[in-house]
Amino acid sequence: MPPRTSASGVGSAAATGATPEGALDERGAAVAVQAMFNSIAPRYDIVNHVLSVNIDRLWWWRTARRFRDVLADPDAAILDICCGTGDMTMALLKHRSPGARPVIAADFAREMLARGARKFTGPFSQHGCAIALEADALHLPLRGESLDLITTAFGFRNLANYRHGLKEFHRVLKPGAQVGILDFSEPEGLLGKLYQIYFRRVLPHIGKLIGGKDSAYNYLPASVSKFPPPAEMLEMMREAGFLKVRWTPYTFGIAGLFTGVRGPIESALTSSNQN
Ligand SMILES: C[S@@+](CC[C@H](N)C(=O)[O-])C[C@H]1O[C@@H](n2cnc3c(N)ncnc32)[C@H](O)[C@@H]1O
């Protein structure tokens, strides 16, 4: 499924989202991101766990726990977008009960999604269940105001347009529903400096060694340093109509969870002071 241009039809080169090397506009960025994830899919899990020394499992677990109340409701409609190989979805499923409404696990990279789909039906899927959906986060094939929760782990940063992503999340969430966006961040201070050395100089080499694709692991630190810092991201969430927006740092701020509550439509214009 080739990605479409953004909801506004804008194909500008403005720095509003991920810009992989060589991408000239939003469509080019989305096509490049999709191709990159399809190409690294076979080794994605192993590279991920090695590079993060398995801390990623803790981050998915904390994110799922944060939403345990809504996950405990068997009728809740839940989307894990940019689900990739499905580990965030699997963490959500641990809070679902057998017979609960399936979690929708969606991604636009077919090779990533196929690996996730296998986990959802595998031996570790004894809790709730999930269905895999090939879909673009910027054009979700879902009715407006139909979801109780959207989660996304390490995917939002890759969207070709962050504002359009938030707008699309707002469209499909019910008023009062929740969003959780887990992604990397750049910690400050001495730890930040050490982390930058690891992230920019060491990680791409390990990634290439195990994963065999150097461009993908050069893209990772570049995309994190381009991702808006927490204060800016929270402001974008407010502008998109989310209330009670908050960023919770994980592991000294290497990663963090953005949360918010979907306000009514008019809050998209007036929410700037309602945090
Ligand atoms: C770094 S992986 C994260 C996968 C998984 N959530 C995890 O925590 O390991 C990012 C995923 O976002 C997906 N993605 C990026 N842009 C997307 C878009 N516009 N629509 C749907 N999926 C997208 C990629 O295909 C990729 O599978």
| Residue 61 reports pLDDT greater than 50 | yes
| Residue 195 reports pLDDT greater than 90 | no
| Residue 175 reports pLDDT greater than 90 | yes
Q: What is the 155 CA–ligand 1 centroid distance (Å)?
A: 4
Q: What is the arrangement of strands in the sheet containing 103-107, beginning at the earlier edge strand?
A: 130-134, 103-107, 78-81, 147-153, 173-184, 255-262, 242-250
**Residue-range domain boundaries for the chain:** 26-186+229-273
For the segment 104-121, what is each residue's pLDDT rounded down to a tens digit? Answer: 999 999 999 999 999 988
Give the pLDDT band (50/70/90) at residue 177.
Answer: very high
Ligand 1 atom index nearest CA of 152? 6
Tell me which residues have their CB closer than 6 angstroms to ligand 1. 30, 33-34, 37, 82-84, 87-88, 107-109, 112, 136-138, 153-155, 158-159
Q: Measured between alpha carbons, how far is 222 from 215 in angstroms, rounded to an integer? A: 11
Ligand 1 atom index nearest CA of 34? 25
pLDDT, residue 245, reads 98
* 26-186+229-273: CATH topology: Rossmann fold (3.40.50)
Please provide the average confidence, as pLDDT, over all residues in the chain.
Answer: 87
pLDDT, residue 4, reads 67
Are the CB atoms for 48 and 74 separated by under 8 Å? no
Mean pLDDT in residue range 174-179: 98
For the segment 226-262, what is each residue's pLDDT rounded down to a tens digit? Answer: 899 999 999 999 999 999 999 999 999 999 999 999 9
Closest residue by Cα to atom 13, ligand 1, is 82
What are phi and psi for residue 272, nearest 5 degrees?
-50, -30
Mean pLDDT in residue range 14-24: 76
Ligand 1 atom index nearest CA of 60? 8
Closest residue by Cα to atom 10, ligand 1, is 155
Q: What is the 244 CA–ligand 1 centroid distance (Å)?
A: 25
pLDDT, residue 89, reads 97
Residue at 245: amino acid letter: V
Are the CB atoms for 18 and 159 separated by under 8 Å? yes
Q: What is the 158 CA–ligand 1 centroid distance (Å)?
A: 7
Question: Given ligand 1 and candidates 47, 55, 82, which is best to mutate, with the most ligand atoms within 8 Å of its CB?
Answer: 82
Ligand 1 atom index nearest CA of 135? 21
pLDDT, residue 125, reads 57
Ligand 1 atom index nearest CA of 160? 19
Mean pLDDT in residue range 77-98: 96
Q: Measured between alpha carbons, how far is 175 from 273 in angstroms, rounded to an integer? A: 18
Closest residue by Cα to atom 14, ligand 1, is 82
Instruction: For the chain, give the percent of residues with pLDDT over 70.
Output: 87
Give the pLDDT band (50/70/90) at residue 206.
Answer: confident
| Residue 208 reports pLDDT greater than 50 | yes
Closest residue by Cα to atom 25, ligand 1, is 109
Kindly report the pTM of this predicted structure. 0.90
Least confident of 11-20, 52-61, 109-118, 181-190: 11-20
Are the CB atoms for 103 and 71 separated by under 8 Å? no
Ligand 1 atom index nearest CA of 138? 19
Q: What is the 18 CA–ligand 1 centroid distance (Å)?
A: 12
Closest residue by Cα to atom 23, ligand 1, is 82
Residue at 154: amino acid letter: F
Ligand 1 atom index nearest CA of 159? 16
pLDDT, residue 23, reads 82
Q: What is the crossing angle of helices 203-211 and 214-226, to 10°?
A: 140
Q: What is the 133 CA–ligand 1 centroid distance (Å)?
A: 12
